[in-house]
Chains A and B, each alone.
Chain A
Amino acid sequence: AQTVTQSQPEMSVQEAETVTLSCTYDTSESNYYLFWYKQPPSRQMILVIRQEAYKQQNATENRFSVNFQKAAKSFSLKISDSQLGDTAMYFCAYLWGYSTLTFGKGTMLLVSP
């Protein structure tokens, strides 16, 4: 079974700084998809960024980028120029074929002024 591990329960960063959230996963598949979701206090899960495993190039969405290391099964999220609105729970998730999204336990990110 696929598992997703987020080893950092909480992270803190100051406004305008850069922070990296870690995620590792376990799978025997070669073609799969990885995601980072953000869950603010409003509770709604918001898709931050998506990576296709067969693509070598790391995905980027504005201030958000990933470091995808397929051999190491590692998928970290880097947030540049952190903003107060980035405060939220961040979940790493995995999906393969017609399976369903499998989530990690999450990392609480607190951005302070």
Chain B
Amino acid sequence: DAGVTQSPTHLIKTRGQQVTLRCSPKSGHDTVSWYQQALGQGPQFIFQYYEEEERQRGNFPDRFSGHQFPNYSSELNVNALLLGDSALYLCASSLAEQQTYGYTFGSGTRLTVV
């Protein structure tokens, strides 16, 4: 049973460019959450998708956007990259009615903006 799969694992982009990160949730899960983890910090919530809609959003600018597809996979898009966007981006999945049991996380995408 595959867990949460994220791609790519590492990415280097230039300031001002755009990036798309991808996530496939654990089999059977229908909710996807995205987190940004700066070096030495705890993960910060970006947004959560359920039934192809953004259900909740954290304190991130509109440059961060996302999408969920009918097969529950998800994308995170970041426009006009800044040096401060360099971080580990974690995707987590859960079943909507069971999210109080915790989330299953992927291994993340390490984004470096130069």
Contact = CB atoms under 8 A, between A and B. Distances in A.
A46 B102 CA distance: 10
A95 interface: yes
Interface in B67-114: 88, 90, 92, 99-108, 110
B42 interface: yes
Contact of A106 (B41, B58, B103, B108): B41
Interface in A15-40: 33, 35, 37
Given A43-B108, A44-B108, A100 B33 contact: yes
B33 A101 contact: yes
Interface residues of A, number: 24
B48 interface: yes
B108 A101 contact: no
A84 to B, nearest CB: 21
Given A43-B107, A44-B108, A104 B42 contact: yes
Given A50-B101, A95-B99, A100-B56, A105 B42 contact: yes
Contacts of A11: none
A42 interface: yes
15 contacts: A37-B105, A45-B105, A47-B103, A91-B43, A98-B56, A98-B99, A99-B56, A100-B58, A101-B33, A101-B102, A102-B45, A103-B42, A103-B43, A105-B42, A106-B42
B90 A45 contact: yes
A98 B43 CA distance: 18
